[in-house]
Amino acid sequence: MRHQLEKRPAYYFTTRELVIIALISALGGVLSTYVGYLGNLVNKLFGVPFGAGQFMAGLHVFWFILVRGLIRKNGAGTAAGLLKGVVEMLAGSVHGVVIVIVSLVQGLAVDVVMALLRRGNTCTFAVAGGLSSATNVFVFQVFYLGQVPLEYILLIALLALVSGIVFGGYFGAGVVDLVTRQGIINVAAENDKNRSGADPPAVRLRVAASIVFALALAGGAVYYYVAVHQPFWSGPVCRVEGKVDQPYDYRWTDFADMEVTVNAELKGQVTYQPAKDYTGVPLKDILASAKPRREDAAQVKVIASDGYEVVFDLNDVMVDDALILVPEGESYRVVGANYEGGYWVRKVSRLVVE
């Protein structure tokens, strides 16, 4: 019969699945700067000398675990990785197109592990989250880390691995259980027909822990985006304030005649970039326009829009011609020929004289 011959084309992902991938990936890309902020908080609270951001790296791959747990099809994690990377790049990531590659590799790693282990349980999610999270270290190493000793790379990768197991795998498994068992999203229901009766204590504990953690993250995200974050579309502006007579908003276009070029080599504990020329405005000239109260101030705090901050001695800054603020995309970056890489702050949003 004709109705038996006429069949609708079978697409790999349904429209509903594509919508879920798109929404979750976009949310992950938008919240990526918040994850960086959490990593900086760890550094500030515990004084971690390097790799602090890797403590929270698992939250970057949580989205791929969530997608792959809800859509039990190979390629779902990879698609989510590509979309999240693109959103993160368009949202103003300082890594540019590199972040797309990092995110794509992470999503692919989740797909590969899930395909090989073929189980949608917590252990599989933990392995997928851990390995996926660790890949970012090696991808970034190709583009940025250069001459960093292997032991540093492996140690940072270990931090990312543990973070991925906890925040990506365990947390992700809890959220998948929550949304599927409560009927919030039924995409994976056909994969869970063997589940019946009351949830065992381990599942209830995982779901409860995930709810508490999700609420804490949501509360922190509200605070971050209201009180800390500076969106890239606001333009490259840096607030100069603190113990100064004339606080103001710095824009490099107002100081174009003061620009200098400095040849500097970035030598950080985990990042290396060979010497090259940077053009920007000396911090001493930027601060001089605000008229710092030298008799009452001793230091300058440089604060980034993601919460990262470093402190310079004010007297040293006011005599350093090689410490400059460089426009970088839609933000600013500190370049210091006489300072190690940890002082080369990206996304600078405030200079506070204290």
- In this predicted structure, the answer to whether residue 108 has a pLDDT above a threshold of 90 is yes
Q: Average model confidence (pLDDT) for the chain?
A: 82
State the average pLDDT over residues 203-214.
Answer: 80
State the average pLDDT over residues 219-234.
Answer: 70
Q: Which residue has the tokens 């609708």?
A: 8
Separation of alpha carbons 223 and 219, rounded Å: 7
3-state secondary structure of 175: helix
Q: Quick one: pLDDT at residue 148?
A: 63
Q: For residue range 83-97, what is the model confidence (pLDDT) as tens digits?
A: 999 998 887 777 778
Q: For residue range 112-149, what is the model confidence (pLDDT) as tens digits?
A: 999 998 877 889 999 999 999 999 888 888 876 556 67
127: part of which helix (H) or strand (E)?
Answer: helix 122-140
Highest mean pLDDT among 83-87, 148-152, 234-238: 83-87
- Domains located in the chain, CATH noted: 10-228 (no CATH), 234-353 (3.90.420.10)
Tokens at 270, concatenated: 């985990």
Pairing of strands 238-242, 348-353: parallel
Q: 177 with 206: CB under 8 angstroms?
A: yes
Q: Quick one: pLDDT at residue 151?
A: 78
Q: Quick one: pLDDT at residue 190?
A: 40
- In this predicted structure, the answer to whether residue 241 has a pLDDT above a threshold of 60 is yes
Tokens at 218, concatenated: 């949501």
Q: 287 with 317: CB under 8 angstroms?
A: yes
Q: Quick one: pLDDT at residue 194?
A: 42
